[in-house]
Structure 1
C-alpha cells in the first residue's frame, strides 16, 4: 500500500520540503539550525541525513523510510492482536491498520510520524509482554523504545499516559505498575531537555489557530467504542479493550483539552491512536466471524468498506491531498519569472517552499534576502531591514511574489514594507494559483530607480551565491 503511488506525481509538499532540505545539510549545520528552530524534529533530520548519504536525496529515499516504518507498525499491531486475542484477530488487525486512510497517508510522507507510530506499536507490544514477566531488561527495552518515539516527536509521550491507564484498569499486580512507573519516569527525564529547549520555539506551531481536522480521530473513537461493546475474547491479563481504548481515546482527548488554552491539536501528532482502532476492529471482526448467522453480513460489510476506501485511497496519492504543493510553487515561479526579475516572498518564512529545486529561482533576485538559510542556520534565511527591502524593490521593473493562499497579513515591519511598496508602486500583471499558493507578477508603474553599485542584481553574483547582501554605506 505504501509503494502504490509513492511519488505522488513527483510532487512534494511544504513539510516534506523542510525535511528534504535540512537532511542534505552537514550534521553540524543541522545541529546549529535546530538550536534556533524545529528542535522537535532534530532526530528525524539526523536519520534522514544518513539515508540521503547512503541512497542519495530524492522522493523515493525521502518517503521509503516512512513506508518501511509503517510496515513495521502493521506487524506490531498484528502481533498485539495475536497475543491479546488470537492469530485470526492479529491478521485482521494488521490488515485493518494498513488500510486506514490516515495510515496510508503518512506512510507516504517524508516526516517522522510513521516512525513514531512504529515505535509506539512495538513499545506497546513490549509492555504487554512485560506484564506476566519479571525481567528488568524487558522493561528497559520498553523504556528505550518509548524514549526514541518521544525524541522523534514529543507528543508520543501521550502514549505513555495511555499505557499507564491500561495497567490501572487491567488491575495488574503492584510490582508491574511500579516497574512501569520507574520506566515512565526515566522516559520523561530523558525527554525533559528536549521539552525545555523546544518550548522556546513554540512559534513553530503558531500556525495552528484551532483544532485541525479532528474528524478522523472522532470517527475512529466512535468505531472503537462500538467494537468494544462486543464480548471480545482476551487471552491474558490485559484485555484488548483495556489496551486499545486508552491509546485510541486518551492522546487525542488530552491534546484537544490542551488546545482549549493553546491550540496544538493536529491529527498526525496522535497518528499512533490508529493502533487502538485497528486492534478493536480486528478483534470485533474475529468475534462476528464466529457467529454463523452474521457471517454473510460480515462479508458484505467488509466488501462495502473496502469499496468505500477506494476513492479515499486514490485521492491520498494526488498532490491535492496535501495543503500545499512546494513542487508546483517552484515550477510556477520558474514559469512566470524572467532572468533578472525580482523575487519576494510574502511572508519570508515561506521561502523554503520554493527552494527544493534551486533551478526554479536561479535566475531571479531574492530582494529581501540578507543571508541564505544554510549560511544562517535557519529554515528560510535572514531578511534585510524593512527600509532596504523597499529600496531594492524599487530598483526592479518586474517582481514575482509568492503568497500562501491562507496567509494573513503579518505585523512584521519587513512584511509591511513589501506589501506597502507593491501597493503604492506596482500593479498586478498576471497571477497563477497553485495548490496552496498564489504566484503573481507585479510590474512597476514607472521605470525602476537606478541601481546602486553595491546592490547585487541576481542571485548568481558573488555576493548572492553565498546568500549575503551588504547595503551601501
Structure 2
C-alpha cells in the first residue's frame, strides 16, 4: 500500500467513525429535546433536584450532612448550572439530554471498534430507542450522566488496555470515579470491567494496571459510601424488586445474549462479547444479589446495563443486514423486505411508548398537578396535612402556592431544617392541631401504597378516622388530594 492509499484508508476510517458517533448523537439529541417540558409536569425526584440546587452552598452542605449525600456532587453541578443559566425545567433536564447524546456517540465508537462501522452505527442508533433511555434522558436526575460516564470509562478502558500508558489509565480512573461519585452504584461497572479483563487475552501487566485503577476508584468512593450508609433510611421505601422492572431486564438480557451469538468480523485481545455481555448482565445481577441483604434494587440505579444491550444488538443487526453472496437475488429481495418490516415494526412499537414517556402520566407523580389540585380544592382557613411526611416534597416546586394554608404537622420549614421535607412536631401536638381545625386538605399516596408506621403518621390516620369525615377525594397523577372536615361540616 502506497502513501496515497494509506491516506485514503485513514480518511475512510475517520469518516466512518464520525458517522458512527454523530448520527446516534444527532438522533439522541432530537429525541431528548422532543417534548422536554413534559407538558409542564415535574415529578418529586426532580423537585428535590430543583430545590437542592437552588439552595445556597452553606445550606446545601448542611443538608447533605443529613440527607441525600449520595447525590451531593450532582446537586453541586446543578447548583452551578442554575446560577449561570437560570432554573427552569429545560435547564433541569438538558444535562441529561446532552449526557445521553454523549453516551450514544460513545456506544457508536465502541461498536465501530469491536464490530465494524455499520455495527457501530446500529448500536448507537439502537441506544436512544430503548424506552428506559428515553425516560431518563428527560429527567432532572443523575442517571443519564452516570450512563454517559460509564460509556466513556469503558471506551477509555479499551484504549488503555490496547495501548497502555499512565495517562490513559489515569483518564479511565478519573472518569470511572466521577461516575461513582455521581451515584454510588456506578461502582458495579467494575464487576463488568473486571470480567472483561479476566475473559480477554490481554497481557498480565494490563490486568494489573486495571486492578490498581479499580482499587483507586473504590478508595476514592469509600468515604462517601461509608458516610451515606448512615442515611440509608432514605431508601426504606424500596421494597422487593418491581416485577415490571425485572421482566424488562430479563427480556433485554435474553435478547442481548441471543444477539451475542452472532459472529463478529473484528478481532483483537478484547472482543465485543467480553465487553458487552458483562455490562449487560453483571451490574444488575450484583445489585439483585445485594438486595437479598437489604432491598435496594431499582433499575435506574444500573441504567448503564443498556450499553451492553445496544452493542450486542448493533452487531447482530450488522450481521443480518449484510449483502448475500452474488447470485442470490431472491435472498437479497427477502432481506430488503425484512429490513423494511423490521424498521417499520420498531417505529410502530416505539412511537406510542415515546409519546407516553413525554406525558405527565409517565412518572410516579406530578407536583405541578398536585399544586393545581390544592389551589382548586382548598379554602381560606384550611389546614394542610402530608401523609407520609416526605410527600411535602410536592410543595418545593411552588412553595408560595402553599403558604396561605397552615401545615398542621410542620415544626421547621425545609429551608431552616437542613432537611428535604422539613421537621415535624410530636404526635400529640399534631393531634391537637388537627382537632383545632375544621377542614383539612390531606395530600397522600394513592390507595394501595405502603404506609409509614412512625408515631406521627399513625396519629394522623387515627385522628382523621375518629374525628373527621372525608368530604372528597381526587386522584392526581400518583397522588391523592382529599378534603376532611369535622362531622356534618363537609
Which of residues 323, 339, 342 is equivalent to 2:383?
342
Given the alignment of the two structures, is residue 219 of structure 1 paired with residue 261 of structure 2, yes or no?
Answer: no
Given the alignment of the two structures, is residue 148 of structure 1 paired with residue 178 of structure 2, yes or no?
Answer: yes
SS of 2:481's equivalent in the other structure is: strand
Which of residues 262, 275, 295 is equivalent to 2:335?
295
Which of residues 360, 371, 374 is equivalent to 1:333?
374
Greater Cα shift, 124-133 or 302-311: 302-311
Given the alignment of the two structures, is residue 58 of structure 1 paired with residue 88 of structure 2, yes or no?
Answer: yes
Distance in 1 (CA, whole Å) between partners of 2:144 and 2:127 is 12
Q: Is the 8 A contact 1:41 1:153 kept in 2?
A: yes
Matched residue, 1:469? none
Q: Is the 8 A contact 2:259 2:312 kept in 1?
A: yes
Distance in 2 (CA, whole Å) between partners of 1:410 and 1:64 is 35
State the 1:393 CA deviation. Answer: 1.3
Matches for 1:407-422 after TM superposition, within 5 Å: 407-422=449-464
Which of residues 121, 138, 144 is equivalent to 2:151?
121
Greater Cα shift, 430-439 or 409-418: 409-418
Distance in 2 (CA, whole Å) between partners of 1:413 and 1:165 is 48
Given the alignment of the two structures, is residue 49 of structure 1 paired with residue 79 of structure 2, yes or no?
Answer: yes
1:345-381 Cα offsets, whole Å, 9 max, x none, are: 0111210123311233121110111101111110000
Matched residue, 1:438? 480
Which of residues 216, 220, 232 is equivalent to 2:264?
232
Distance in 1 (CA, whole Å) between partners of 2:452 and 2:318 is 54
State the 1:433 CA deviation. Answer: 1.0
1:174-209 Cα offsets, whole Å, 9 max, x none, are: 011000000000000000001101111111111111
State the 1:82 CA deviation. Answer: 1.3
Distance in 1 (CA, whole Å) between partners of 2:451 and 2:304 is 35
Distance in 2 (CA, whole Å) between partners of 1:63 and 1:409 is 31
Which of residues 424, 436, 452 is equivalent to 2:466?
424
1:294-320 Cα offsets, whole Å, 9 max, x none, are: 632233223212221111111111111
Which of residues 186, 189, 212 is equivalent to 1:182?
212
Distance in 1 (CA, whole Å) between partners of 2:275 and 2:261 is 14
Give unmatched runs, 5+ long, in structure 1.
Answer: 448-473
State the 1:134 CA deviation. Answer: 2.3
Higher helix fraction: Structure 1 or Structure 2? Answer: 2
Given the alignment of the two structures, is residue 381 of structure 1 paired with residue 451 of structure 2, yes or no?
Answer: no
Distance in 2 (CA, whole Å) between partners of 1:215 and 1:129 is 34
State the 1:99 CA deviation. Answer: 1.0
Q: Is the 8 A contact 2:48 2:396 kept in 1?
A: no
Greater Cα shift, 71-80 or 420-429: 420-429
Which of residues 346, 351, 360 is equivalent to 1:319?
360
Matched residue, 2:392? 351
The two structures have a TM-score, normalised by structure 1, of: 0.92
Greater Cα shift, 177-186 or 415-424: 415-424
Q: Is the 8 A contact 2:169 2:209 kept in 1?
A: yes
Distance in 2 (CA, whole Å) between partners of 1:197 and 1:27 is 19
Q: Output the aligned Cα RMSD.
A: 1.3
State the 1:291 CA deviation. Answer: 4.5
Q: Is the 8 A contact 1:86 1:235 kept in 2?
A: no
Distance in 2 (CA, whole Å) between partners of 1:321 and 1:116 is 22
Given the alignment of the two structures, is residue 167 of structure 1 paired with residue 197 of structure 2, yes or no?
Answer: yes
SS of 1:442's equivalent in the other structure is: strand
Matched residue, 1:260? 292
Which of residues 223, 239, 254 is equivalent to 1:193?
223
1:387-407 Cα offsets, whole Å, 9 max, x none, are: 111111122111100111144
1:4-58 Cα offsets, whole Å, 9 max, x none, are: 0111110011111111111110111111111111111111111111111111111
Greater Cα shift, 262-271 or 178-187: 262-271
Q: Is the 8 A contact 2:411 2:423 kept in 1?
A: yes
Greater Cα shift, 229-238 or 126-135: 229-238
Given the alignment of the two structures, is residue 304 of structure 1 paired with residue 378 of structure 2, yes or no?
Answer: no
Count of paired positions:
447
SS of 1:414's equivalent in the other structure is: helix
Greater Cα shift, 20-29 or 295-304: 295-304
Distance in 2 (CA, whole Å) between partners of 1:178 and 1:423 is 64
1:144-189 Cα offsets, whole Å, 9 max, x none, are: 0000000000111111110110111112110110000000000000
Q: Is the 8 A contact 1:371 1:381 kept in 2?
A: yes
Q: Is the 8 A contact 2:382 2:439 kept in 1?
A: yes
Distance in 2 (CA, whole Å) between partners of 1:259 and 1:358 is 36
Greater Cα shift, 255-264 or 176-185: 255-264
The two structures have a TM-score, normalised by structure 2, of: 0.89
Distance in 1 (CA, whole Å) between partners of 2:488 and 2:358 is 46
State the 1:410 CA deviation. Answer: 2.4
1:203-240 Cα offsets, whole Å, 9 max, x none, are: 11111111122222211111111111111222432111
State the 1:411 CA deviation. Answer: 2.2
1:35-84 Cα offsets, whole Å, 9 max, x none, are: 11111111111111111111111110110010011011111101111111
Distance in 2 (CA, whole Å) between partners of 1:217 and 1:30 is 35
State the 1:446 CA deviation. Answer: 7.4
